[in-house]
Amino acid sequence: MPELINVTFDDHAISLALRNFQQSVGNIRPALFEIGEYLLRTTKNRFVTKIAPDGTPWADNSPVTIEIKGRNWPLTGESGDLGRQFDYDLIGNDGLKFYSNMVYAAMQQYGGTKSEFQQLWGDIPPRPFIGISDDESKILEIISSHLRPI
């Protein structure tokens, strides 16, 4: 069974907007669905730009990895599976879970050292791809758009 990556955030603005939104309209599932679809697009795009959610560039591959793989394109692999294996679930009427089902996703998100994980050929720096730091304004915009009368 693949390990799940748990990335949590405590963003006061988004949390407050969602609470106010739920009190105003009751059913926030359409907005959560739209946020989930948006997060799918932005997360997949990080594999093109090699930029973390907070705007920092991913570390390049190490010289050892470049020698073994013959390229310097972190996290894309020959199959590119990690960059495509994302999904989200709506949890009840007021929650959204965003995840990767790839076993090695947590290692890429958080990094790891050879001393901790003997199977690695070297240390892996964290290359965060799941998160919403740079997406906050768009998520707030999505929430606001669902408050407007149709």
> Along the 150 residues of the chain, how does pLDDT read in single tens digits?
455 556 566 677 877 877 777 777 778 899 999 999 999 999 999 988 889 999 999 998 888 778 877 777 767 655 567 888 889 999 988 889 999 888 888 888 999 998 988 888 788 899 999 998 778 889 989 988 887 554
* Cα angle, residue 66 at apex, residues 111 and 87 outer, rounded to 5°: 45
- Whole-number pLDDT of residue 150: 47
Query: pTM for the whole thing?
Result: 0.75
Q: How far is CA 81 from CA 31, 123, 135, in A?
A: 28, 21, 23
Domain ranges of the chain: 28-145
- Whole-number pLDDT of residue 126: 93
SS (H, E, C) the chain: CCCCCCCCCCCHHHHHHHHHHHHHHCCCHHHHHHHHHHHHHHHHHHHHHCECCCCCECCCCCHHHHHHHCCCCCCCCCCCCCCCCEEEEEECCCEEEEEECCCCHHHHHHCECCCCCCCCCCCECCCCCCCCHHHHHHHHHHHHHCCCCC
- Whole-number pLDDT of residue 147: 76
- Whole-number pLDDT of residue 149: 56
- Whole-number pLDDT of residue 57: 94
- Whole-number pLDDT of residue 90: 95
